[in-house]
Amino acid sequence: MNKPEKLSDAQRSTALAELTAHGWQVGEDRDAISKTFTFGDFNEAFGWMTRVALIAEHMNHHPEWSNVYKTVKVTLSTHDVGGLSALDIAMATKMDRLAG
Ligand code: H2B
């Protein structure tokens, strides 16, 4: 796994335009993106978290998240570079795809 790099300005604007159109919000006080996912019930929410967790392990890139019943709050940022990298964009896209 090569070391991630911070997004360039060009990469940022393209990626964030797409993700904000799908409900992701850009952090005000840190270089991160966040989104709240709401599912049908806890079983669905935790099942999604389980699938994402396996992907996170495969990517060696892990979300900051919390779950209350059928809601999962997610924040993505790359700690090793202190901000957004392509890994965050890839993970956000995978999360959206799995959430349907
Ligand atoms: N997840 C996230 N979100 N950012 C990182 O910089 C990161 C990670 N680094 N998962 C990985 C693990 C690193 O700590 C290990 C040692 O490879």
| Domains, the chain, ordered by start | 25-99 (3.30.1360.20)
pLDDT tens digits, one per residue of 10-60: 999 999 999 999 999 999 999 999 999 999 999 999 999 999 999 999 999
d(CA 26, CA 7): 14
Distance 81 CA to ligand 1 centre (A): 10
pLDDT class of 4 with cuts at 50, 70, 90: confident
- Check residue 21 and report its DSSP letter: T
Task: Tell me if 62 CB under 6 Å of ligand 1.
Answer: yes
pTM greater than 0.90 (yes/no): yes
Q: For residue 65, what are the contacts with CB-CB under 8 A and spacing of at least 6?
A: 49, 72, 73, 74, 75
Q: Whose CA is nearest to atom 10 of ligand 1?
A: 61
Q: For residue 37, what are the contacts with CB-CB under 8 A and spacing of at least 6?
A: 45, 48, 71, 72, 73, 74, 95, 99
Distance 18 CA to ligand 1 centre (A): 24
Please state the atom number of ligand 1 nearest to the C-alpha of residue 80. Answer: 6
- First-to-last CA distance in the chain? 28
